[in-house]
Amino acid sequence: MNFTPVPNPTASYWLSEPHELADFCSAATVPEQVDIAIIGTGLAGVATAYHILKSSDAKQKRPSVALIEARGACSGATARNGGHIKVKLETLRDWYEQHGPAAAAALVSWSEAQRRCLQQISEDEGIDCELQVRRSYDIFFDKEHAAGLKEWLSARRKEGVDWLKDMQWVEGPHIERVTGVKGAVAAFSSPAVSLWPYKFVTGLLEKVMELGATLYTNTPVKSVQSSTSQSSPAVLSTSKGDVRAAKVVYASNAYVAGLVPQYRRVIVPFVGQNSRIVPSRATLEQAPTLATTYNFHHDAAWVDYLNPRPDGAVIHGGGGRSFRKDRNDRSGAWFNSVDDSRLISDRVAEDFRVFDQQHFYGWQNGEAKVGSTWTGVMGVTKDGLPHAGRVPGTDNEWILAGFNGGGMLLIPTMTKGIAEMVLDGKDLEDTNIPPLFKTTDSRLSNIFTDVSD
């Protein structure tokens, strides 16, 4: 299995306005040595650098931080996702049933903190990324599926579960008008935030550079020779030379197993497909504005997502039902793959276009078009949880990766905890990061047995 990012990835809409730092290098070669090397410049890597540098007492005390990226700055999953942050009802159920009531409550609190964190940073740093505080609907089209989730939700309300107070089950004769979606049989309303993720991260990257970090894009890390003790540096071999780093942060998500072999078959890369659907001018002038984000549950097996854009277009992603035979299908076209240079299927975006015209008021004769479609690489774990903390068996290396396609809901405040561990030597248990996320030898043994190395 090759874990190296491929050249010429598909063109994501989020990358249609390249930032001036997109292909920036602070020098022709990487520095001979740094205090902290961060591999990856998506939300995980850049936000970690931000918290490390912001929390340093004074400029003269700030550590030297190098951000190293295999392709352009923030050109991976962060710039290829749906651009909204929410928790699906099915996710709430899974947290509750797999980890228990207390852990589910902690995870809901965590997800709420992520939305607030992004909003606060955006406002504090003046980052123009079209961030909006919104609501989101889980839309259900299958009555049996909806009934089962409603029953589970009712049972939790009878238990007095406090974290459901900002969420609501919606049904009744006006469900289509309430949600704006034709064919809906029920819905679940929850808080959400939407934004232009690439603009948020590159805006934050500007601040990180102002705080003294250096940046090396188009600089793949070929290998890492781990340090043998706290007093000896790790050596990163890159396409622009070797750099000796006192500390290393792995923020490369799906690609991490290429540099840290113990994560092979633990964090497995998989490809998703996304698109931008553009309604006609007539539709924009006549149809109601879509004000909420969505997850569309076609049935218990298949779910897609949609994020309305301020310009009237929508970001519509997922599409598993268009290219997978069933839920057990792990075709090499998308699973255990890092190839985002091609589409999984030409059918996906067209299916999204047809769906949107059929289900949104005013779109039925609007001749919506596929503005663009692209793929992105994510990392999945067997237990559905990310890996965070000190890499087992090392003294000076940390990881935050394996976000199971939900990085925006997991990363923002996690990076603050990672920064505390890197700077202050804290254990994960002494940070804000949920203990369930801790990377351990035990979790490293929880592998995908049907995936080859």
For the segment 71-85, the average pLDDT, to the nearest whole number, is 97
User: Do 274 and 151 belong to one domain?
Assistant: yes
Domain end: 334, 358, 381, which one? 381
Residue 188 pLDDT greater than 70, yes or no? yes
User: Do 165 and 275 belong to one domain?
Assistant: yes
User: Do 236 and 285 belong to one domain?
Assistant: no
Q: What CA–CA distance (Å, rounded) separates 277 from 259?
A: 37
- Is the torsion defined by CA of 55, 60, 62, 67 positive or negative? positive
CA dihedral (430, 104, 188, 378) in degrees, to 10, reads: 60
Least Cα distance to 373 among 271, 270, 276 occurs for 276
User: Do 28 and 160 belong to one domain?
Assistant: no
pLDDT tens digits for 385-408? Answer: 999 999 999 999 999 999 999 999
Query: What pTM did the predictor assign?
Result: 0.97
User: Do 52 and 188 belong to one domain?
Assistant: no
Per the domain annotation, does 60 fall within a domain? yes
Q: What CA–CA distance (Å, rounded) separates 8 from 6?
A: 7
Count of CB atoms situated within 10 Å of the CB of 303 = 18
Q: What CA–CA distance (Å, rounded) separates 417 from 432?
A: 6
Q: Under the phi-then-psi rule, with left for phi > 0, alpha for psi from -120 to 50, and beta for the rest, what region is 8?
A: left
Per the domain annotation, does 118 fall within a domain? no
pLDDT tens digits for 294-337? Answer: 999 999 999 999 999 999 999 999 999 999 999 889 999 999 99
Q: Which two tokens stand for residue 145?
A: 């599926």
Let me know: does 359 contact 181? Beta carbons within 8 Å: yes
Domain end: 381, 413, 430, which one? 381
Least Cα distance to 106 among 170, 163, 62 occurs for 163
User: Do 366 and 411 belong to one domain?
Assistant: no
User: Do 182 and 276 belong to one domain?
Assistant: yes
For the segment 135-144, the average pLDDT, to the nearest whole number, is 98
| Cβ partners under 8 Å of residue 389, min gap 6 | 398, 399, 418, 421, 428, 433, 437, 438, 439
Per the structure, the complete domain to which residue 31 belongs is given by 13-79+198-266+383-445
Q: What CA–CA distance (Å, rounded) separates 368 from 309?
A: 14
The CATH number of the domain holding residue 310 is 3.30.9.10
Q: Which two tokens stand for residue 146?
A: 């909806």
Percent of the chain with pLDDT over 70: 99
Per the domain annotation, does 121 fall within a domain? no
pLDDT score of 231: 74
Per the domain annotation, does 186 fall within a domain? yes
CA angle (367 as vertex; 362, 368 as ends), nearest 5: 80
User: Do 288 and 356 belong to one domain?
Assistant: yes
SS (HEC) of 7-46: CCCCCCHHHCCCCCCCCCECCCCCCCEEEEEEECCCHHHH
User: Do 306 and 169 belong to one domain?
Assistant: yes
Q: In whole angstroms, how large is the CA radius of gyration of the chain?
A: 22
Domain count, the chain: 2
Per the domain annotation, does 111 fall within a domain? no
User: Do 39 and 140 belong to one domain?
Assistant: no
User: Do 288 and 367 belong to one domain?
Assistant: yes
Domain end: 336, 366, 381, which one? 381
Let me know: does 67 contact 32? Beta carbons within 8 Å: no
User: Do 347 and 428 belong to one domain?
Assistant: no
Per the domain annotation, does 402 fall within a domain? yes
Per the domain annotation, does 94 fall within a domain? no
The CATH number of the domain holding residue 395 is 3.50.50.60
Per the domain annotation, does 394 fall within a domain? yes
pLDDT tens digits for 25-73? Answer: 999 999 999 999 999 999 999 999 999 999 986 656 899 999 999 999 9
Count of CB atoms situated within 10 Å of the CB of 123 = 10
pLDDT score of 59: 58
Residue 3 pLDDT greater than 70, yes or no? yes
pLDDT score of 228: 72
H or E stretch including 262? none
